[in-house]
Amino acid sequence: MKPVHFKIPRTSGESIRVQYEEQEHFYDNLHFHPEVQIMFIHESSGTRLVGDSIGSFNPGDVLLLGADLPHVFRNDKKYYEPDSGLKAKNTSVFFDTDSFGEKFFSLPEVYPITKLLLNSKRGINVTGETKHKLNGMVQDLLLHHGFSKLLQVFTILDLLACSKEIELLSSVGFDGPPKDSDSKKINDVFTYIMKNFSEEIKLQEAAAVANMSVNAFCRYFKHHTRKTFSTFLNEIRIGHACRLLIEDKWNIRETAFACGYDNISYFNRQFKDITNYTPSEYVKMHREKFTPLLV
């Protein structure tokens, strides 16, 4: 199965496409498209792979994905269970910068947005108050048409361009979309990890998925993700552990086992290395942040 190089359908009467999607889970193959994408997640959670960056996504997240930036949003396992009743809902804005003409983004008034779009090639996660402001603005886009829609999109981009509450995701050295053959291998390995991270995964098994020797696979994986395979796997597992702890699903020991760790000391060490907190500190911090004060 080859990864799809998307071309977002737009009518001849629009330079910007705004679409609301509701499905059982997000499209879960690594893909890229020539359009810039602003993505607001209404509902669903899981793991995102953007360029060479791994992280989690949750309701309320807003991301800016640059042109031809490989990405995939893989929902948690519960979204793939029959009759789960869960939905993945998002609103996305797509536009091709070429639609605005060769010189538009060279205008001095547009320079901050031009710089933002250059940074978007690494992927941008929006945080803080800016994220909350954008939630309503992106949803309101569904009510805008014609010039009003165009104006709203550039208002959003201007807000982002002036904000310091943004997080660049991929590394500086990330060099764009892989070849089809490379993309297929990375996608196959990523899918394999996401389906099996709660179990023991041996390096030999992952190399076999890519149809490579272990040594060749290690070099290949490090080159394309900027991470070792073990680091990548631990980040996937700890990201899932964070969500389980926040949801109060299990205690710390049960969470470790559910995420593929049979050694609690190793789990605690990996959790601290990746999040800078111990599991108990992470839970306490989250509860203090989101529990309202009693008056």
What is the block-wise mean pLDDT of the chain (295 residues), using blocks of 10 residues?
A: 46 76 90 92 92 89 94 91 91 91 89 95 94 88 87 95 94 68 79 90 93 93 85 90 80 92 94 91 76 44
Q: 46: domain range? A: 16-168
Look at residue 3 and tell me if it is in a domain: no
Task: Give the helix/strand (H/E) hosting 188.
Answer: helix 180-196
Look at residue 253 and tell me if it is in a domain: yes
Residues 188 and 149 in one domain: no
Residues 135 and 194 in one domain: no
Nearest CA among 93, 95, 26, 19 for reference residue 62: 93
Look at residue 6 and tell me if it is in a domain: no
Give the pLDDT of residue 295: 37
Give the pLDDT of residue 154: 94
Residues 22 and 109 in one domain: yes
Number of C-beta neighbours around residue 180 at 10 A: 11
Structure tokens at 13: 């009467």
Look at residue 4 and tell me if it is in a domain: no
Residues 117 and 152 in one domain: yes
Residues 136 and 24 in one domain: yes
Residues 55 and 190 in one domain: no
Number of C-beta neighbours around residue 10 at 10 A: 16
Asked which of 120, 143, 168 is the last residue of a domain, the reply is 168
Residues 254 and 278 in one domain: yes
Look at residue 8 and tell me if it is in a domain: no
Give the pLDDT of residue 13: 59
Residues 152 and 257 in one domain: no
126: domain CATH number is: 2.60.120.280
Residues 156 and 250 in one domain: no
Alpha carbons 263 and 257: distance in angstroms, whole number: 8
Give the pLDDT of residue 289: 59
196: domain CATH number is: 1.10.10.60
Residues 26 and 51 in one domain: yes
Residues 56 and 113 in one domain: yes
Residues 143 and 211 in one domain: no
Asked which of 144, 168, 192 is the last residue of a domain, the reply is 168
Look at residue 1 and tell me if it is in a domain: no
Whether pTM > 0.85 for this model: the answer is: no
Give the pLDDT of residue 178: 63
- The sign of the CA dihedral 33, 38, 43, 45 is positive
Look at residue 2 and tell me if it is in a domain: no
Contact 193, 260 (CB under 8 A): no
Task: Tell me how many domains the chain contains.
Answer: 2
